[in-house]
Structure formats: structure tokens, C-alpha cells
Structure 1
Amino acid sequence: MSRLEERYRLLLRLLPAAYRQEWEDDMVAAFLESMDTGDPETTAYLADYGRPSLSEAASIVALAVRLRLRADTSPRSRVWGHAVRLATLMLLLTHAVMVTGSIAVTLWYAGKLAWLPAPAPELTFSTPASIWSTTWHLAGYAWLPAYLALVLGYRRVAQAVALIAIVPPAITVAMAQAVGDVPLTVSPWAMRLVDVALLLAMAAFPHGAAPVSRRPWLLALPTGIFLVALPLFSLQAVEPALRLLDWPGLLCTAVAVAMAVHLTARATGRSTRTLPWSLAFTLLAATALVLRAATLPDFLDQAERTTLTTIAFVQVIAVLAVGVPLAVSALRALRNVPSAPAATPKPTTPS
């Protein structure tokens, strides 16, 4: 067995055992055939030093997510699948709400909304200096159609549109940091990794059908814009202290508040079938904490690093204070869900 085959078989271990037992050899044979260049020396070199491409790895990860969380597996897998879909929708909704609200704020900064008070001079909008800056700003708005496509059941369309929101900002940040226009920081890359994880999590959605009721999720978008995004941006514009709340901080705050509301609803008995929601909030809390921890080193070179670090620790404590009890309760409830798999379904065609 070549080193290349060993690496590919190791990657295939992400797939469920039953699926791997039936399809692994065929998938390995197809992969090795695709790596055959026709040149014996090149093929021999790839056999020793080659690795599965990023696109191949992403395909296997997406297939693993789709197989492990689909509805015809064990009851416990179905609960986790529902939780992953809820967490994905909530995080994607957050993206859509924030970028849509930012359109109005951008128009305000540019002086296009004459009926509003003029923004502070330091907030005056300036035209992006390069085509990449313009692309970065426009690409971010792709989260809105991605969210709508996913809610309406067009998972592949949502994934394709989400790529538009991920790739241009990543290229922009890489170019800006490479030429020294902006300092080398962790924050933009940590956020891009979260976005990539969000993209992969979309594989848990069944193709061609919405996994949850469409009406509440469609109504959540304008509700979030008017009740969260616009007031938040307005407060940050007029209150300098609130500008210290960055994206990881906003995520921590939003998750902590949402978990508190969820726990309150559970305690008052007004919510039923809450286990998937509890697990979804637990996943979001873990994501927020990882993102917050990964971006802390960027505060070291800031003039207000003491204040920023203090605010960050308060955010972490708030998420832990609400998230730990919720996670413990959810995991205890999960133990009562049968883990025995259902009848083994006929595998789908391997990708």
C-alpha cells in the first residue's frame, strides 16, 4: 500500500463504518486512478508524497456529515442532525441579518439617508480604494441569498452562493496582509474558518426540501434586521464605547442572550421538544468561545488592549455561565435517546 493510499484511507475513516465497509475499496480505486498521470515517474512520486486535494477532502467531509446526520439513521443521529441544521440556520441567519442591516448603515454613512441625523465625521463613508475592497464589501451581501436559498430547500445553491461570501474576503485579507497594508492578525482567518465550517454544515440539509418550517425562518430575517441589526449599528455609531464590540464579541453576546431565553422558556414549560434546540445552542456556544479565544492575541497590539481583554473575558464568562448548565442538561437528555441504528439503508452513490 502506497503512502498516498494510506492517507486517503485515513481520510475515509470519517465515513460511517457500514458505508465504508461497502464502498471504501471502490472509492480508493477511483481516487488512485484519478491520480494516475500517465507518467510513471510522476505517478511514483505522487504515490510516495502525494496527498488528497483540498477539494477531495472537503467532499469526503461533506459526505460524512450528510451520512451521519441524515434522517434514516439512529434516533440519536437524527437528533444531532436536527441540532446541526438548527445551529447552521441560526448562524446563517445572523450573517444575513448583519449584512442586510449594514446596507442601511452604509447608505447612512454615505449621506444617502437625508432624513436621518448626519453621522459623526469619523464615520463618513469613503469609496473603497481598490477593486478588491469593493469586491469584499459586495461579496459579504451574498450571505442574504444564501440564507434564503437554504430556508427554501435549495442546499446546493446556498452552498454555491456562500462560497461567494467566503472566497473574495479571504483573498482580500491575504493580499492586504501580504503587502503590509494591514497588520497580520488572527481574527479574519478565524472567522473565515467558521464560515467554512458553516458551509460544510449545510451538507446536513436534505437536498430539495427545507428541514424545518419555512415561515418562521423567513419572518426571522426582517424581525432580526429591525430589532437587532439596525438598533445595534445605530448605537455603535453614537456611542463610542460600543464600537469595542467586535464580531466575536457580538456572537458571544447574541448566543448568551439566546441561551438565556431558551433556558427561561424551558423552565416555564412553554417549550416542547427542546433537545435539538439545546444541542444547537451548545454547538453555537462552543463556536463562539473558540472564535473568541482564537482572536484574543489580536488585542495585544491595541491601544485599548486592557479594556478589550476585559470585555472579552466578560463575554466568555457570560457564555459559560449560561452554556455549561444548558450543555449538561442537553447531554443528560441525549443519553435517553436510543443510539441503536435503524435498518441499514442502501448507500448513496459515493462522491
Structure 2
Amino acid sequence: MSPLEEHYRFVLRLLPAAYRQEWEDDMVAAFLDSMDTGDPETTAYLTDYGRPSLSEVASIVSLAVRLRLGGADAPPRSYAWGQAVRLATLMAMLAHAVMVTASIAVTLWLSGKIAWLPAPALEWPLSLPSNIWHTAWSLAGYAWLPAYVALVLGHRRVAQAVALLAIVPPAITTAVEQAAGDVPLSVSPWAMRFIDVVLLLAMAAFHHGAPPVPRRPWLLALPIGIFLVPVPLFTIQATRPALRLLDWPGLFCAVVTVTMVVHLVGRVSSRSSRTLPWSLALTLLAVTALALRTATLPDYSNQAQRTTLATIASVEVIAVLAVGVPLAVLAIRALRRLPPIPAVARRPTTPT
């Protein structure tokens, strides 16, 4: 086996084992034929020192995503995982859209535009951007709202491009501020940016073979989510300073825990085949919430209320585990009852 073939077969490991067993030799043969330049010396050099091109690797990655996160025509297990990733992505995007939309109301409150709310305390200052550039830079975070709408409407590439606008500016701002010493070094902003990057990559599950997103319920979820979570939260925090100890990772843990409890209650009266993707999706979100909560714990070491904050964080982790572990066990059992990916599968066309 030549080094070039070894490299290509290594990349093919991204594909499911059953699919490789059926199509790997044909794909390797087609790839090696495509590398034949007609010049024996050049072909021999590529065989010994060449590697698969980035476009070829990208096509295999795309194929692996379509096979492992399948659409309506995929085997049951692949379809369940595909729906789980799509549901988890939609819920995470919805959370972003809800929070950035509600932050507009918070900005109006801090600037005194909402007269019926109590005046903000002194520790809630409003820092306005100094120029047009800083204004546009600050507004980049609001891109999560059109990104969510684009994803629901079926424009996945548009959603990814817009979401990228919401990720890059905060990352650059954090890097510049921490490098200049304007803000203390902390893990939290980088942990959240990492989650955002994972969310951006997860949008690949909305490929052409994936079933369309039900538009009406997911669009209605946006205003409902705003009135159920951020509006009451900010209103209560405006009058009860003690509740300001609940940060974003803590709120994420609380919302995920409540959602899992509601799902477990409804799961008893529903068919497992319909609830399995939701169970897997909530399990993925629970793992994400635990990872985010754990990664941000070191930032409490320099806080004046570090003992209280650590205690609250411990309670949040215990709550997620107490509900998430039983849900994960039920989801895994239901997943194992589904038939696996068949050994013979139709080979999608990929560029070479």
C-alpha cells in the first residue's frame, strides 16, 4: 500500500464502518485513478509524497456528516442522531436569539426609556459605544437573531455566514481587551466562544437530505421564549440584587434542567420513537451545559463572593446530573433498540 493510499484510507475512517466495508475499495480506486497525471515520474512522486487535497477531504467530511446525521431516508439510528443534533442546534440558536432580543429591552431600561420599571441601580451602568465603528462592532452580537430565522427558513449557509459575524467580533474584542489588560484574564468568554464555534459547525447537520424545519412552531418559540425567560429574569434581577449571582452558564444549566424535567414527564405518555431525538438532543445540551459550567469555575477564584458562587455552581451541576443521567440512560436504551445502519448503502456522489 502506497503512502498516498494510506493517507486516503485514514481520511475514510470518518465514514461509518458499514459504509466503508461496502464502498471503501471503490472510492480508493477512483481516487488513485484521479491522481494519475499521465506522467510516470509525477505520478510516482504523488504516490509517495502526495496527500488528499483539501477539497477531497472536505467532500469526505460532508459525506460523513450526511451519513452519520441522516435525513428522512437514513437508517433509524442515523436519523435519530441527525434529528438530535438538529434539534439541539435549533434550541441553542433559539437561546441566543432570545437573549440578544431581550437585551434590547435591557438596554432601553438602562437608558431610562422604560418608565414603568424601577430605575436601574448604580452597579448597572450603561456604557455607550464611543463611535460608529464601536457601535457596529457592539451590534454584531445581534446577528444571532437573523441567523436563527435564516436557519428555520431553510437557508443554512446564510445562517452560518451570519452567525460567523456574531462570533468573530466578540472573540477579537476579548483577545484585545485581555491582551491590553483592560479586563482580567478569564476562561468564561473563551468557553462561550468555543461553544459558539461548535454550534456553527453543527449547522452542517441541516444538509440537503435533512427534513425541513417546521417553521411555525420554531418562529413562535422566539416571542414565547422572550416572555418566559429573559424578561422575568431581568425584571426580578432589577429588584432583587441577590439573584444577579446567576450568570449565563448558570442560567443555561437551569433552563436545560427544567426542559429535561418537562420532557421526562411528557415522555411517559408519548411514543419513544418520537421522543428519542428530543431525549438525545437534551442529553447533548446537558453535556454542553456541564462542560460550560465546569470550564468557567476557575473565574470564581478572584471573586469576592467566590464561596457563594461556587456553592451555587455545585448545585447547578448536581441538578443537571440528577436529571440528565436518567434521561441519557433512557435515550441510549431506546437507541440500541433501533436497527443499526445496514451493511449495504447507496453511495452518494462526492467530488474527487
Which TM class, normalised by the smaller chain length? 0.7 to 0.9
The equivalent of 1:66 in structure 2 is 66
Q: Quick one: structure 1 residues 330 and 29, their matched pair in 2 at CA, closer, same or farther if it must change by over 3 Å? A: same
TM-score by length of 1: 0.84
Greater alpha carbon shift after TM alignment, 233-242 vs 165-174? 233-242
Q: C-alpha distance in 2, partners of 1:339/1:274?
A: 18
Q: Quick one: structure 1 residues 100 and 63, their matched pair in 2 at CA, closer, same or farther if it must change by over 3 Å? A: farther
Aligned counterparts, 1:141-290, within 5 A: 141-207=142-208, 211-267=212-268, 269=269, 273-290=274-291
The equivalent of 1:336 in structure 2 is 337
Q: In the alignment, is the contact (CA less than 8 A) between 1:9 and 1:28 conserved in 2? A: no
Deviations 1:144-163 (A, max 9, x none): 11111111111111111111
Partner AA of 1:95 in structure 2 = H
**SS state at 2:174 partner:** helix
Deviations 1:16-62 (A, max 9, x none): 3536724467679989x9xxxxxxxxx99xx79x9998x99888655
Deviations 1:67-100 (A, max 9, x none): 3212233211111111111111111111110110
1:307 and 2:300 are equivalent in the alignment? no
Greater alpha carbon shift after TM alignment, 206-215 vs 176-185? 206-215
Q: Of the two, which has the highest radius of gyration? A: 2
TM-score by length of 2: 0.84
Q: In the alignment, is the contact (CA less than 8 A) between 2:118 and 2:238 conserved in 1? A: no
Could you list the runs of 5+ residues in structure 1 that have no partner in the other structure? 34-42
1:109 and 2:110 are equivalent in the alignment? yes
Q: C-alpha distance in 1, partners of 2:302/2:57?
A: 36
Aligned counterparts, 1:29-40, within 5 A: none
Q: Quick one: structure 1 residues 117 and 7, their matched pair in 2 at CA, closer, same or farther if it must change by over 3 Å? A: farther
**SS state at 1:123 partner:** coil
Q: C-alpha distance in 2, partners of 1:116/1:219?
A: 26
Q: How many residues align?
A: 337
The equivalent of 1:120 in structure 2 is 121
Q: Quick one: structure 1 residues 292 and 28, their matched pair in 2 at CA, closer, same or farther if it must change by over 3 Å? A: farther
Q: C-alpha distance in 2, partners of 1:302/1:58?
A: 44
Q: C-alpha distance in 1, partners of 2:221/2:147?
A: 15
Q: In the alignment, is the contact (CA less than 8 A) between 2:171 and 2:190 conserved in 1? A: yes
Q: Quick one: structure 1 residues 134 and 65, their matched pair in 2 at CA, closer, same or farther if it must change by over 3 Å? A: farther
Could you list the runs of 5+ residues in structure 2 that have no partner in the other structure? 38-44
Q: C-alpha distance in 2, partners of 1:125/1:95?
A: 21
Q: In the alignment, is the contact (CA less than 8 A) between 1:150 and 1:158 conserved in 2? A: yes
**SS state at 1:347 partner:** coil
Deviations 1:97-131 (A, max 9, x none): 01100011111112223343322222131213577
Q: C-alpha distance in 2, partners of 1:114/1:30?
A: 70
Q: C-alpha distance in 1, partners of 2:148/2:102?
A: 15
Q: C-alpha distance in 2, partners of 1:25/1:141?
A: 48
Q: C-alpha distance in 2, partners of 1:147/1:191?
A: 18
Greater alpha carbon shift after TM alignment, 4-13 vs 218-227? 4-13
Shift of 1:349: 2.4
